[in-house]
Amino acid sequence: MSTETRLRDQICELAKSLFDRGLTHGSTGNISARTDDGGLLVSPTGTSFGRLDPSRLSHFDASGQLKSGDAPTKEMPLHTAFYDTRSSAGAVVHLHSCHAVALSLLPDLDADSFLPPLTPYGLMKLGKVKLLPFFLPGDPAMGEAVRGLAGKRSAVMLANHGPVVAGKDVEAACNAIEELEDTARLALMTRHMGARALSDDQIQAVVTKFDVEWDT
C-alpha cells in the first residue's frame, strides 16, 4: 500500500470517527492533509464526514492545481491560509461542533483567547484559540483573517460557525479539534459556577514544560 493510499484511508477513517460521535453532522465540516510531494488531499464539497470515499478526495498538486477527485470544499481559503502561514501544518480540520459553536454565541468572550484555561490538555494541544468574527460560509475573507495571524495560532474559532485547527498530521489535527470541543463543553457546563481555571503560574508551568505556543 502506498503512502498516499494510507493517507486517503486515514483521512476517511478519522472523519467517520468524528461524524459517528456527533462532532459534526450532515454534510458539514472539511478536512485536508499534506501529501509527501507537497500536494493536498481534501474532502470534496457537499460530502458527509460519515461517508467519505478515499478514491474521490480532491487531490491537489504542489502548485495548487486540482489533479483528480471531486471538486473540493468551498472552505479551501481556510485550509490554504494555514498551510501558507504555518510551515508545521500537515493537516487542517474544520468542524461545526455544537459546544464550540454555542460558546462562540455568548457575549463578553476574550477574542484573543476564546477558550478559558481549564485543563493542561487544552493548552498543550491548542495554545491560545483566536475567536474570529462571523463570515459567510465560503467567504475568502476567512482565509485572509487567518493569514492576518501570521502563523501564530494553530487554532481559530469562527463565530457562529465552527472551529478550524491545524496540526502536524491528520491525527494530531483531529485530536486537537476534539480537545477544543471538549474544552468548550466544559466551559459551558461550568459557566457562572465559579469554576477554578488554571492559575497564571500553572499555565506558565504547562507552557514551559510542553513548549506551548502561548505568548503570541
Q: Look at residues 33, 39, 47 and name the one whose alpha carbon lies nearest to residue 63.
A: 39
SS3 161: coil
Does residue 75 have an active-site annotation?
yes
Catalytic residue (one of 75, 178, 179, 181): 75
Respond yes or no: is residue 178 known to be catalytic: no
The beta-strand segments (E) located in the chain are 30-34, 40-42, 58-60, 66-68, 91-94, 130-132, 155-158, 162-167
Q: Which of 4, 13, 83, 121 is catalytic?
A: 121
CB 91 within 8 A of CB 170: yes
Query: Which burial class, exposed, middle or buried, applies to 119 when counting CB atoms under 10 A from its CB (0-12, 13-18, 19+)?
Result: middle
State the Cα torsion 72-94-210-168 to the nearest 10°. -10
Residue carrying C-alpha cell 450532515: 26
Long-range contacts, stretch 199-205, CB < 8 angstroms, 24+ apart = 202/120, 203/117, 203/123
CB-based contact 127:156 (threshold 8 Å) = no
Active site residues: 75, 121
